[in-house]
């Protein structure tokens, strides 16, 4: 991994790509690295908040966003939601964070103990007062939401809740373009790697499934298919430095079917034809796993 060489922008886009592929742990690591590299970047904190499984860390990350920008609508909405899930004491602390006047100094980090609750009669100044922002596309529409990538104010019509928080349409389009970063040679590598993986592993798995007969063969194929598919997808993705291509899944599937056919032909020559049903079940499950991971 040469993530050190990535720019912060690239790291954040990779993290967003991981998140949208459902690779939560990878996304969490990448966002964490981004917050370490640039602690003043609210996009990194929002991504970490969305990808971490820890409620405590989610809360700390959203509070960090409010330190950077007290008007961040997404963090405010998320904290309000967290307050309903937290125990009463924590919920109170979260509400105090939300009601804190903008002018107040940087708050303590989350988890540093109970905050003074003696501010009864304290005049709560709603954070949004004073700063009325308008959607960049609809100058007449007031909004508190901001795109968490470019920071521009956008109304609900112009924003989409993605896996990594609220994003404007321009940023989503841009991110999709950087999402598919494969080069043309990557397709050749994917085809070759997939073909040989299948040509070598195909006859071995075919012979293995053949040992167990039809009934147990199918049961084993059901368990083995997704597992082997997952391993194969990892090997194929690593072979191209984890770059992603729009057609990578289909190229891999076609190459694997060709590889399995050649491997099976070799098996037939040596008098070991595979069982078509167990092999079919196995192939269907492993190929759908591979296709899904190579989107």
Residues that bind Zn ion (CB under 5 A): 135, 137-138, 147, 149-150, 155, 157-158, 168, 171
- The two beta strands, 165-168 and 159-162, are antiparallel
Neighbours of 88 (CB within 10 A): 8
Contacts of 26 (CB under 8 A, 6+ apart): 15, 18
- The two beta strands, 133-134 and 142-143, are antiparallel
Q: How far is the CB of 246 from Zn ion (least distance, A)?
A: 23
The residue (of 157 and 272) whose beta carbon lies closer to Zn ion is 157
Q: How far is the CB of 167 from Zn ion (least distance, A)?
A: 6
Q: How far is the CB of 165 from Zn ion (least distance, A)?
A: 11
Q: Which residue from 53, 27, 32 is spatially nearest to 44, judged by alpha carbons? A: 32
Q: How far is the CB of 154 from Zn ion (least distance, A)?
A: 6
Q: How far is the CB of 146 from Zn ion (least distance, A)?
A: 8
Tokens of 55: 């409620």
The residue (of 172 and 208) whose beta carbon lies closer to Zn ion is 172
β partners of residue 161: 166
Q: How far is the CB of 39 from Zn ion (least distance, A)?
A: 21
The residue (of 146 and 244) whose beta carbon lies closer to Zn ion is 146
The residue (of 171 and 191) whose beta carbon lies closer to Zn ion is 171
Tokens of 267: 């098996």
The residue (of 19 and 283) whose beta carbon lies closer to Zn ion is 19
Rounded distance between C-alpha atoms, residue 42 and residue 49, angstroms: 10
Angle at 101 (CA atoms; ends 100, 107), nearest 5 degrees: 50
- Do residues 245 and 180 touch, judged by C-beta distance below 8 A? yes
The residue (of 122 and 138) whose beta carbon lies closer to Zn ion is 138
- Do residues 283 and 232 touch, judged by C-beta distance below 8 A? no
């Amino acid at each position: 991994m040469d993530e050190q060489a990535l720019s912060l922008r690239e790291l954040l886009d990779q993290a967003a790509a991981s998140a949208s592929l459902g690779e939560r742990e990878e996304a969490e690591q990448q966002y964490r690295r981004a917050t370490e590299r640039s602690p003043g970047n609210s996009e990194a904190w929002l991504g970490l908040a969305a990808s971490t499984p820890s409620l405590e860390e989610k809360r700390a990350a959203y509070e960090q966003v409010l330190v950077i920008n007290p008007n961040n609508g997404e963090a405010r909405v998320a904290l309000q939601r967290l307050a309903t899930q937290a125990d009463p004491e924590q919920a109170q602390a979260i509400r105090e964070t939300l009601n804190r006047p903008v002018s107040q100094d940087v708050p303590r980090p989350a988890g540093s103990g109970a905050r003074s609750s003696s501010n009864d009669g304290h005049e709560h100044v709603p954070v949004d007062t004073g700063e009325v922002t308008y959607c960049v596309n609809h100058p007449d529409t007031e909004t508190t939401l901001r795109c968490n990538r470019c920071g521009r104010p956008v109304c609900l019509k112009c924003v989409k809740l993605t896996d990594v928080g609220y994003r404007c349409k321009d940023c989503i389009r841009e991110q999709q373009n950087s999402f598919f970063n494969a080069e043309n040679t990557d397709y050749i590598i994917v085809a070759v790697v997939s073909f040989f993986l299948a040509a070598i592993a195909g006859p071995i798995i075919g012979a293995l499934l053949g040992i167990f007969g039809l009934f147990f063969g199918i049961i084993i194929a059901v368990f083995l298919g997704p597992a082997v598919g997952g391993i194969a997808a990892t090997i194929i993705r690593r072979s191209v430095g984890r770059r992603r291509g729009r057609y990578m899944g289909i190229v891999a599937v076609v190459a694997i079917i060709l590889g399995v056919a050649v491997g099976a032909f070799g098996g037939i020559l040596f008098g070991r034809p595979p069982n078509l049903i167990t092999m079919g079940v196995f192939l269907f499950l492993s190929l759908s796993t591979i296709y899904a991971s190579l989107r």
